Structure 1
Amino acid sequence: YQDSPPLLRGLQVIGDARTSSITLVGTPRQVEVATSQLVQLDLRRRQVAVNLRVIDVNLSAMDQFDTSFSFGIDDTFVNQDNGLLTLAFNNNPLSVARNFLAALQATVVNGNSKIITDPTLVVQEGQSASVNLVEEIVNSSTTNLTTLGDNSNTVVQEREVELVDVGLTLAINIDRIDDNGFVSLSVAPTISSPGPQINLGSNDFVTPISRRALSSGQIRVRDGQTLILSGIIQDTDITTVNKVPILGDLPIIGALFRDTDTTNERQELIVLLTPQILDDSDESIYGYSYTPGEDVRELLGEDE
């Protein structure tokens, strides 16, 4: 290193891409200084275990037709309580009291809501992970007719079907884990749902897909603190037809023998996100320190 500081001038560095390691050759003082600098640069990436719980709340059964579950629990957002943080998608982070989780747990016990997923993801700093709660549906179906040969009357009918995933996709990005036990992260949920099929004739159809992408921006959460995301509401109209067999299918007068009932179901998805910083070192509270390998310790003379 001819352009290096005088103390490191003459130090030889040999890299091995196969083992992702380097070898330092020089005076003991040069090796000591270079090693101390490399230790500061080659810090192991911090990791966090993110528990993600998604709860499906039936608002129709709770008479919450004009609002979400989050804003229907008395003065929930007025109370203060450490360890809990809530964020609706209007970019207003508010503190929420323990009675929010108590009310949410009560809806699960009463059958008005259900936990649809409860995974724990281990994510490195600067990396992202995602949870997909989707189902595969037929987006479109088209018929293609092909004639075999120039003078042949044989026609082959082929049906082309396009499949797409609809549901909830939740992407989590761990931006930074600082030395004070805070995790800076961003959450980007995307929800999609199928609309009514559009008949194109000849048994061909297309299903329009409605997608909504939401973003919470960057949030700073303490280790072990629970982040609550709410406001993902879906309305579904369900039409039920009851009719007398045969008579209900008759034109004009068939309406006298059948009854059509349309009900509206309103559901809200609530996401509980709790990051836990992993301690992957016996010498550090949060696993931030670097432990040299055996070869490095021999080079430094620590095993002598």
Structure 2
Amino acid sequence: MKKRILAPILAITLVTAAHAQQTMNVRDADIRAFIADAARVTGRTFIIDARVQGKVTVVTDHPVSKSQYFEIFLSTLRANGLVAVPTTNGAFRIQPTDNAASQPSRIGSRGATSNSYITEIVRLRSIDAQSAVDTVRGLISPQGSVTANRGGNSLVIVDFADNVRRVREVLRRIDTDTASTRIIALKNAGAREIATALQALAGQSAGGAGGAAPAGAATSVSVVAVNSSNSVAIRGDATSVARLAAVAEDLDRRAKNGTEIKVIFLENADAEQLLPVLQQLVGQTPSPITNQQLSASNFGNNSQSGGSNGNNPSSRPANTPAVQQQDTGNTGNAPTQTAITSGGRTASVVTRFVGANAIVIAAPAEVQRQLADVVRQLDTRREQVLVEAIVAEVSDQTASSLGAQFAIANLKGGAFAASSFQNSAPSLLTIAGAIGARQLATTTTTINGATVTTSTGSSSSDSLTQSAISSVLGASGGFGGWAGKIGDTVFGSIINAVKSDTTSNLLQVPHLVMLDNQEAHSLVGQEIPITTGKALSTNFDNAFQTTQRENVGIELTVRPQVNSSGTVKLNLRLEVSSIAGPVSSSNSDLILNKREVETVRTVDDGDIAVISGLLDDNERRTIEKIPLLGDIPGLGNLFRSKAKSRTKTNLMIFIRPTILRTADDSRKLTEQRYGYLRLQQGLAMPNDEPSIDQLVRDYMGAAPPIPSAPVPGNIEDPRIMVPVQRSSSTVIRTKRDR
């Protein structure tokens, strides 16, 4: 029973398989009809280019499957100069093979038939992409293309799949690392110098410490200097590496007997400060450092004035040297360098040449190399620091006073009574004294019925009169009074009232630019004389007084230290002083207001930090009165004087360091400050060119450092029209012309 059922199923399977196979026997058939039959058999869609014309012949001796049929179809197209290019929607575009490489095609060969037109990307590991293109170009069909991708060191191949697989296998076999690497340890010569010479021999640029040769260069040899171990690494083909290694070893041997004196010209460092460091490294006694400081005026020197004979026993020197030199080492003679010989070679000696800021090294080659490497690391451009201090002080002072004065006396003598208070002006006693002195100096006589008044002047009368006038003129606020006479008794009274309110807002921003770890000093202000003493001779003649000069203004002293973390350590001293006025009307000595801070602070680059502050609220109440009388309710106000004052001061001092690492940072700072000043001049005189531009251009012979937009002060700043001369006839002198 099972055999009867299996037989019909097998028969149906054989019939179906027979129908799935096709026989291809075509002779001189039209190519378009052949493509139509292929579309019917394979079930695929073909788009025929208008240039597709001709006849084809295909003969098979046995039936083929659909996949075999499609492969034979693609081979037939390829044999007739045609190609089937797959499209994005699954169809195939049949066109001539000309320019087929530039048309969209399948990416990758996985699953592609041998006659499919594909694009393949081959990544290389060892060989250069351009060299690989030259190698496989002859293996590519005339219709294909191969392109080198230098950035990714890869090849882009467009061709038939079977040919792409062949080219890929060729590349796999030749893409191997055959380069040789060798490290040459140097004993006498420097690695940088030897590497530069080898690079020149290898045809590379000799402008650095070594590196890989650029792709496509005439040579594939790379030379690198390894300074840490004083060695040279060479990589390339074995022949070139061996040749350059022999040259390096020969140069190293010759350096052993080379010159022992080397001069290093410094670009940034100071030879005087660098010399002791190098001398200590070679065991030489360090030379003392001479600090050259620009002398500020000796503000502490004393001077005298006055005296008839003109002698000044402690007068201040007239001329101060521009530069003070002070030895920080021993004051004796510098240590003498002894030449120690060992094997016919002198010991290491390091000195300097002041005129050219140069270091002179007399030492064996190995020591020279080590010292030269130290100099190279230390001779770098030092960072600069801009330190800005902001002093902001806001104060408010209010004062009020109210008082009464009286005086009563008898012209013929006897008792008198008066009241006088220090916080009351004008002084009633001063005025009464001047009037009394004038009355005493006046005499009235009658001669022949005529009255004659005679006034006799005296120094005391004139002095009292002058004091009374000064008291009246120096009074502030409002005051009034009255005076009278009853018989021989005179009386008078003055009532004064005053109220004042003073507000001040002080803002000062001193700033300095200095080298890292270099102290700088700035003083903007005046030098005023302060009397410190007076002296007389034994005969009380030839009197003279001793004075001392004192700085008044803004004085800033700072030494910054830039840390590797980007912070700035500031050793800072700031003093802001001003003249408050004389001690009193009878004492001409001056009172100075001082704000001084000295601190060490670490601040981030560009940040603003507070370093000092003061909040002061001072209130004073003063009552002057006559005992008992001043305590009488109501009436006691006539016998007392009241004064009240309150002063509030809010002082803050801020600091802001900014690191200037490059020349461009310094240029931008100059442009910013120049532009600010230029803008202020433009606001003051909007129709004229800023005078600072004229000064820089005409006197200095340079171009004004005008900031670029939109920094205020730029000629293109739309907020203000700042004129600028644009004449092309202006001649700018160069350094060579000066």
TM-score between both structures, scaled by the size of structure 2: 0.23
* Structure with higher RCO (Cα < 8 A, 6+ apart): 1
Larger CA Rg, structure 1 vs 2: 2
Q: Hey, which of these two has a bigger chunk of helix by percent?
A: 2
Q: Hey, which of these two has a bigger chunk of strand by percent?
A: 1
TM-score between both structures, scaled by the size of structure 1: 0.48
